[in-house]
Structure 1
Amino acid sequence: MTPKSVDDYIQEGIYGAKEIHREERGVFLSTFRERVELALTIGQVIAPNIYPQVENVLKVQAQAGLEMLLNGTIAYPHLSKYIKLAEQYKAPFTIVQNEEKETSIGLLLAHKTAVDRDEIFIRDEMFQREMEH
């Protein structure tokens, strides 16, 4: 690793610290795709019922450092059922406000380190409708 030059310090002062995979973090509610255990789209979060897959993952893995990330563009009444679920299983949660990057992801269950799941989405009818656009 090379030492920082004066120009590097000036650039950081003007633009802030360099971010790794900024686009990916924008889409995945401030985390990396490789850390995601399960993801719901905005439409799936807004649906009236809780997805049982979310509860099943929380039951099994909440104590393993799993965190729930929620899209802050979704109205609180839709998020509250998942917040209560996270509290029930003592899983930390964060409501992510990201005005810079638009994303169709409404909820993520993410680890602190990489798990590299092949499939993170619940591919139901709601998912298909949202992803066609």
Structure 2
Amino acid sequence: MSDKDVNDYLTEGMYGTRLPKEEERKKFLGTLRERIVLALTIGQVMTDKGIEKLEDAMKQNKKAKLLINGHVDTRFMTEEKKLANKYNIPYTIIRNEENNTDIGAVLTYDYAIDKEDIFLEESVEEVTDKKEDTEKKQGSLLSKMKKWFS
């Protein structure tokens, strides 16, 4: 006899069978981390910062597939789609209203490859540029406030 009760059967019937590592699947557009070659954030997809790395990864992984977050506007997905077509890599747009993730695109396999570094790292210059920009914005805001009270 199994350990399932009536509530387990009802829940399974209404929502489907529970998948292992469900939270991980929600984050990575339906796939598991161990299958991913490269993961780009929504910001990287929208600014095309990771497009060169994505192209390199596609060149090296011709049997992979591309998953694109459907919450990203279609005008920001054009470069990724062009690359996928160029290297004959199938792509799927994943639009899941129930789940929110910061992942914009994932190059993945159907099996585990256990790649350690799947995220595109920002260069040191980009990080310092962002800091300088925020400091400039804060400085200008402070100077404006000083002028108001002077």
- TM normalised by structure 1 equals 0.82
Q: Offset at 1:50?
A: 5.7
Change (3 A) 1:104 1:49: closer
How many residue pairs get aligned? The number is 126
4+ residue stretches of structure 1 with deviation over 6 A? 126-129
| Counterpart in the other structure of 1:41 | 41
Equivalent position of 2:99 in the other structure: 101
- Aligned partners of 1:13, 1:48: CA distance in 2, in Å? 42
Q: 1:14-93 to 2 correspondence within 5 Å?
A: 14-48=14-48, 51-62=51-62, 65-93=63-91
Partner of 1:123 in structure 2?
121
Structure 2's unaligned 5+ residue stretches are: 131-150
User: Unmatched 5+ residue regions in structure 1?
Assistant: none
TM-score, normalization by structure 2:
0.73
CA gap of 1:122–1:93, structure 2 versus 1, over 3 A, is same
Identity fraction in percent: 37
RMSD (Å), alpha carbons? 2.4
* Structure ranking higher in helix proportion: 2
Question: Which is bigger in relative contact order (C-alpha 8 A, separation at least 6)?
Answer: 1
Asked which structure has the greater CA Rg, the reply is: 2
Deviations 1:28-84 (A, max 9, x none): 01100110100111111111466211111111211xx20101011100011111011
Rate the CA distance shift 1:49–1:123 in 2: closer, same or farther, 3 A: closer
